[in-house]
């Protein structure tokens, strides 16, 4: 089991919308590193959902329900999507500020590599964020 974090700008695709949809394919990734991460996702992996720009906080937990396949929004075979479904909304969103201030989280990719939109998390980091969000 692996753990991930994905970013979405709320005005583009929000957690609320995701919960209405119940399931979505995660498209729009046009960065090789993020793409490689998508390809490594396995069914059942847990994914934190982060609102970038507006909010700047982790708002919920999703899971991978379908592994990487050709991005239906383009013919370019470089790009893939995965299907995600919402699992749980965090009681308290975990803000970027909180994450940066946390000794155990200050080295995660979200902080160190701000522009990456799909990143892996260690189990301990994932657990810590959940802990902060409950």
Partner DNA sequence: GCCAACGTTGGC
Stretch that binds DNA, among 61-69, 82-90, 92-100, 123-131 (CB under 7 A): 92-100
Least Å distance, CB 12 to DNA, is: 9
- 30 lies in the binding site for DNA (CB under 7 A): yes
- Residue the block writes with tokens 């490689």: 36
- 14 lies in the binding site for DNA (CB under 7 A): no
- 112 lies in the binding site for DNA (CB under 7 A): yes
β-sheet bridge partners, residue 46: 3, 63
- 7 lies in the binding site for DNA (CB under 7 A): yes
Rounded CA gap, 84 and 5, in Å? 12
Pick from 10, 25, 56, 85 the residue near DNA by CB under 7 A: 56
Rounded CA gap, 34 and 31, in Å? 5
Do residues 128 and 104 lie in contact, with contact meaning Cβ atoms separated by under 8 Å? yes
**Six token digits for residue 77:** 């075979």
Using CB under 7 A, list all residues that contact DNA. 7, 9, 30-33, 52-53, 56, 96-97, 100, 112-117
């Amino acid at each position: 089991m692996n753990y991930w974090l994905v970013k979405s700008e709320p005005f583009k695709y929000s957690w609320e919308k995701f919960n209405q949809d119940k399931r979505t394919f995660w498209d729009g990734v046009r960065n090789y590193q993020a793409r490689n991460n998508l390809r490594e996702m396995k069914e059942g992996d847990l994914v934190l959902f982060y609102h970038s720009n507006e909010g700047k906080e982790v708002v919920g937990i999703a899971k991978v329900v379908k592994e990487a396949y050709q991005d239906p929004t383009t013919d370019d075979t470089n790009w893939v999507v995965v299907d995600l479904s919402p699992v749980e909304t965090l009681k308290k969103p975990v803000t970027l500020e909180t994450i940066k201030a946390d000794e155990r989280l200050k080295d995660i990719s979200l902080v160190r590599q701000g522009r990456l939109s799909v990143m892996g998390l260690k189990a301990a980091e994932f657990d810590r964020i959940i802990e902060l969000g409950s």
